[in-house]
């Protein structure tokens, strides 16, 4: 068996307990690769069971040729005697021949690099070794066998621990223990009373925790390493850290800023050493630490595993519990690392200064000025994080703490949305929900499909992945935490603009990654604002968001409807010079407010879906009331009979089933197979009737009445399309249903959309009665010619209705591209008219059980779309009652060429047939819309005719020559036919212009 020289004497066999440390003294000329080879050959050894490889030497203990005069006898944290297996014959060890210490082995007083001896724990093995060291020799007579036997045989007796040495001990120059002092300690240690295990553990718990080492400015500087102070760089690919520092410091053996066998990488500026890793894993003889140790780790691990989706790990524990916080001084703007145990809250982060940090570190004993504390240089790692153009990666990513989004997301795994599972979070209460804006719903509802302008808390949207591909790959959970935090802040108060400063104080996470999160915030806020998730409505952005003067441009908006006003207000709020040219004498377009009629001013307007609807949010901001619109619609025949509810539900189910069959039929088909929607509906309806003769047999109504009920639902479908069903495409009539739609109940805007649009028009430069004739965009500037002269700007947004564009107004020079002209001509312009009546009494509510709307079953197919549905409304301000209905399709054709009085009389006759038991009074006021006859409107809303597709909407929205923009409901594929779609399209074009300026 190979011999091993250990602690100054030779022995044939050692049997160590697994996990204990082995420290070896090397004689002059001993080669590294021969050390501990005997362990690999000894079949009885019990050490190194995990790995039989030779122990790797630490090069800082030796010089290059192993000729150092330093003799290291130190053993750090050696386990107690009863914690190690010792298979050594003490008597034979004492009989061993004395070993001469050569001059090369003697301590040198001239070498300043000689390190003082470490603390020695007196187990029997070390006592024997030390006893043999003297200026000449130490024999067995110098050591009393009885003393050795008393130490080794009595489990309750242990030698006293040697006091830590002062480098200037005795002679004031030598850093080694003198021979006389060592001999006296050997003899005296046998008579010192032993300390019990319990007392030793109590004494150990009172020790001061290891001091946290501050990072050097040469964290990534290769020049910080030398032969006397060797460093080990991080082995992670692309990590620039050459001299890492352990941020953990939870083990007494923590390497700190010195050499370690391995660095564990968290980020380019954050690492922890192998000693701290082994300590948490309970390896290599560690017995725990009262301050931070395995008990804390195991408790955290149990809590994490009970709430988290991912497995617990050492790195996860250190990132979640140990990694230091960072805060930015509100005075100088420098980032400072906070001391361990510093409690971080949003209030502290909003008022943090360098003086607070100096006082916490006891670096000052009196109040200093902020400027004095701010003179301290910023950590070099901060410069590295800030200089990076990409998001600073950290693996695992730190979790956000105290997030205001947490109460909204208690049903999700915390770590799956970037929050800490170790925090106790209470779900938001019903009382708190009532205080929130009911129209801001940023997160998907439970057991409901995702609605438009909402997000799934634990998943990135496709547009987010396309915008932030690096974050989606490196740290998606951290991005989700930031995104959800911003949306929650917006939901708590949609009357205030969500700024970077407001969000920054709520970003509470450990590590340098917080600096990167704060740096990333402007990009995130801009993205969410651009796509309509936050900062919607009548809000004004802060001054910091205003476009600089050197990036300014001028814009002309043609048309003062919902889309034009939305674009103009958005650009104006960012400091862009905007001029709105409106052909009419008032703004608002097809939903303009007429000051001549009380009916038009107070008539309700329908809002299809209120969740995250920008118009609903605008109403909330301006204090305009929204009334929920009930879906319950009782049907009345032309004979005045109410249709039974069971039959109504049966016909409605049949109607929806036929539309589902049409949807299945069109799968895999293209425009060549397109036919009118009514043809396909009738085909499948008749086939269904033939195959299920008894489906309607038990109904109280005849087959003729059943067909009349089906015609009612077809009439309602014509109103939704804005045209007769023989014009609508059977393939693409509902193409927008493939996209996310606004959720929540339908609402009625008290006072109409015109009041909201008037709020948008405030403080804008609007020229009324200005008919635009031509748009010339062939030169650098765009020239707009009108009846009031020429206007010049850098860009133009055209928001005129589709019917006006079909007429070739305005003219474009040069002409529009072919795809644009084809889209204009192929898209359908829906024809709908509205009739509103004002009564002094309510004669309809009693029959329909106080419901808000009721329907008229048409007498025949020729009467489809003829006052099909009536909407009722009561105005508390005037005490008047309103009824509103529409003409569409064949019903509109019946009233073609009629005067307003004749149209109102026809409507009153329909009401009289529905309520024969009542005498219908003459209305106090009435108004009939003339959208189809208005030369500047000409339509109600767009639809997809046979041969067109959803792509037509995208072609309508396409920008020409980067200077000619188009907006309006006919340019929005997701929300066509609505005022909401028109508003969002205007915001879309405004952000196109803003992005072009910001990206210059």
Strand order in the sheet with 795-798: 766-767, 577-581, 554-558, 795-798, 964-966
Residue 538 has which token pair? Answer: 């009548």
Instruction: List beta partners, residue 747.
Output: 607, 628
Whether 607 contacts 829, CB under 8 Å: no
Mind spelling out the 3-state secondary structure of 90-159?
HHHHHHCCCCCCCHHHCCCCCCCCCCCCCCCCCCHHHHHHHHCCCCCCCCHHHCCHHHHHHHHHCCCCCC
Strand blocks (E) in 150-244: none
In this structure, what token pair is assigned to residue 86? Answer: 């010792």
Beta strand 747-749 with 832-839: parallel, antiparallel or unpaired? unpaired
Contacts of 856 (CB under 8 A, 6+ apart): 635, 636, 638, 712, 867, 868, 869, 870, 910, 914
Tokens 């009334």: give the residue.
Answer: 627
- The CA-atom distances, in angstroms, between 369 and each of 163, 181, 328, 362 are 43, 52, 17, 15
CA angle 934, 938, 940 (to 5 degrees): 115
Q: Is there a binding annotation on residue 913?
A: no
Cα separations in angstroms, 583 against 804, 932, 934: 12, 16, 11
Pairing, β 335-337 against β 554-558: unpaired
Starting at the earlier edge strand, list the strands of the sheet with 832-839.
635-636, 853-856, 869-875, 880-888, 832-839, 925-928
Q: Is 822 helix (H, G, I), strand (E, B) or coil?
A: helix
For residues 416 and 711, the answer to whether their CB atoms sit within 8 Å is no
DSSP notation for 881-922: EEEEEEEETHHHHHTTT--HHHHHHHHHHHHHHH-TTS-PPP
Relative to beta strand 9-11, strand 4-6 is: antiparallel
582 is in an annotated binding site: yes
Tokens of 512: 């340098």
Q: Known binding site: residues? A: 563, 582-583, 772
Q: Known binding site for FAD: residues? A: 563, 582-583, 772
């Amino acid at each position: 068996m190979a011999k091993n020289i250990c602690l100054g004497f030779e022995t044939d066999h050692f049997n160590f307990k697994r996990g204990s440390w082995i420290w070896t003294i090397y004689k002059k000329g001993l080669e590294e690769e021969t050390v501990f080879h005997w362990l690999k050959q000894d079949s009885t050894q019990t050490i190194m069971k995990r790995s039989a490889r030779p122990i790797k030497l630490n090069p800082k203990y030796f010089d290059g040729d192993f000729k150092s005069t330093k003799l290291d006898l130190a053993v750090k944290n050696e386990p107690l005697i009863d914690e190690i297996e010792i298979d050594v014959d003490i008597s034979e060890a004492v009989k061993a021949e004395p070993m001469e210490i050569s001059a090369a082995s003697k301590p040198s007083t001239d070498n300043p690099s000689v390190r003082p001896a470490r603390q020695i724990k007196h187990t029997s093995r070390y006592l024997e070794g030390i006893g043999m060291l003297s200026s000449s020799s130490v024999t067995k007579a110098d050591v009393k066998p009885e003393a050795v036997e008393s130490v080794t045989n009595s489990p309750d007796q242990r030698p006293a621990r040697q006091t830590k040495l002062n480098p200037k001990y005795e002679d004031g120059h030598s850093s080694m223990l003198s021979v006389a002092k060592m001999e006296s300690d050997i003899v005296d240690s046998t008579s010192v009373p032993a300390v019990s295990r319990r007392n030793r553990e109590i004494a150990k718990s009172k020790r001061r925790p290891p001091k946290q080492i501050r990072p050097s400015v040469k964290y990534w500087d290769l020049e910080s390493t030398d032969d006397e102070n060797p460093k080990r760089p991080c082995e992670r690919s692309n990590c620039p850290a050459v001299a890492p520092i352990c941020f953990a410091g939870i083990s007494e053996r923590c390497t700190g800023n010195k050499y370690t066998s391995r660095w564990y990488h968290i980020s380019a500026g954050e690492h922890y050493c192998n000693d701290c890793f082994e300590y948490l894993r309970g390896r290599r003889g560690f017995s725990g630490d009262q301050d931070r140790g395995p008990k804390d780790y195991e408790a955290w691990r149990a809590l994490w595993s009970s709430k988290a989706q991912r497995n617990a790990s050492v790195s996860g524990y250190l990132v979640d519990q140990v990694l230091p916080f960072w805060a930015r001084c509100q005075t100088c703007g420098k980032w400072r690392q906070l001391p361990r145990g510093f409690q971080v809250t949003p209030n502290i982060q909003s008022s943090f200064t360098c003086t607070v940090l100096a006082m916490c570190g006891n670096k000052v004993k009196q109040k200093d000025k902020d400027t004095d504390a701010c003179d301290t240089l910023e950590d070099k790692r901060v410069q590295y994080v800030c200089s990076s153009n990409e998001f600073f990666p950290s693996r695992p990513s730190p979790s956000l703490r105290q997030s205001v989004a947490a109460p909204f997301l208690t049903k999700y795994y915390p770590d799956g949305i970037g929050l800490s599972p170790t925090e106790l979070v209470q779900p938001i209460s019903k009382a708190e929900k009532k205080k929130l804006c009911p129209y801001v719903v940023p997160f998907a509802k439970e057991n409901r499909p995702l609605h438009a302008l909402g997000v799934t808390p634990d998943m990135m949207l496709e547009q987010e992945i396309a915008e932030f591909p690096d974050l989606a790959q490196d740290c998606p959970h951290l991005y989700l935490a930031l995104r959800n935090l911003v949306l929650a802040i917006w939901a708590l108060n949609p009357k205030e603009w969500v700024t970077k400063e407001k969000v920054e104080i709520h970003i509470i996470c450990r590590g340098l990654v917080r600096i990167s999160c704060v740096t990333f915030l402007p990009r995130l806020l801009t993205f969410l604002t651009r796509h309509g998730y936050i900062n919607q409505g009548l809000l004004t952005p802060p001054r910091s968001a205003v476009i600089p003067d050197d990036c300014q441009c001028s814009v002309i908006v043609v048309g003062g409807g919902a889309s034009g006003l939305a674009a103009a207000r958005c650009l104006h709020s960012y400091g862009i010079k905007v001029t709105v040219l409106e052909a009419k004498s008032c703004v608002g377009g097809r939903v303009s407010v007429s000051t001549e009629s009380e009916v038009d001013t107070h008539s309700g307007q329908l809002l299809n879906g209120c969740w995250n609807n920008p118009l609903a949010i605008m109403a909330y901001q301006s204090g305009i009331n929204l009334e929920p619109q009930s879906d319950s619609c009782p049907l009345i025949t032309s004979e005045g009979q109410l249709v039974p509810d069971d039959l109504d539900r049966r016909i409605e189910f049949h109607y929806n089933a036929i539309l589902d069959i049409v949807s299945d039929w069109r799968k895999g088909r293209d425009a060549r197979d397109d036919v009118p929607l009514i043809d396909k509906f009738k085909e499948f309806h008749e086939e269904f009737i033939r195959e299920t003769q008894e489906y309607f047999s038990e109904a109280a109504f005849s087959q003729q009445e059943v067909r009349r009920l089906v015609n009612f639902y077809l009439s309602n479908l014509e109103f939704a399309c804005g045209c007769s069903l023989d014009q609508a495409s059977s393939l693409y009539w509902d193409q927008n249903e493939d996209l996310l739609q606004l959720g929540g109940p339908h609402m009625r805007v008290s006072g109409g959309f015109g009041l909201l649009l008037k709020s948008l028009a405030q403080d804008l430069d609007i020229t009324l009665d200005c008919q635009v004739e031509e748009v010339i965009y062939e030169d650098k500037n765009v020239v707009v010619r009108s009846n009031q002269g020429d206007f010049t700007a850098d860009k133009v947004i055209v928001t005129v209705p589709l019917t006006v564009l079909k007429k070739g107004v305005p003219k474009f020079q040069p002409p529009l591209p072919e795809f644009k002209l084809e889209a204009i001509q192929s898209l359908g312009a829906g024809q709908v008219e509205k009739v509103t009546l004002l009564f002094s009494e309510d004669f309809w509510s009693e029959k329909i059980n106080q419901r808000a709307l009721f329907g008229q079953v048409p007498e025949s197919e020729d009467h489809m779309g003829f006052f099909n549905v009536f909407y009722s409304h009561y105005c508390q301000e005037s005490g008047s009652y309103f009824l509103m209905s529409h003409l569409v399709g064949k019903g509109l054709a019946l009233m073609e060429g009629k005067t307003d009085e004749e149209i109102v009389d026809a409507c009153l006759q329909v009401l009289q047939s529905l309520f024969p038991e009542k005498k219908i009074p003459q209305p106090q006021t009435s108004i009939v819309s003339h959208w189809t006859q208005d030369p500047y409107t000409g339509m109600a809303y767009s639809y997809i005719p046979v041969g067109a597709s959803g792509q037509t909407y995208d072609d309508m929205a396409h920008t020409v020559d980067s200077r000619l923009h188009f907006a309006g409901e006919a340019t929005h594929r997701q929300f066509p036919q609505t005022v909401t779609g028109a508003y969002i399209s205007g915001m879309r074009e405004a952000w196109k212009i803003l992005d072009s300026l910001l990206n210059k």
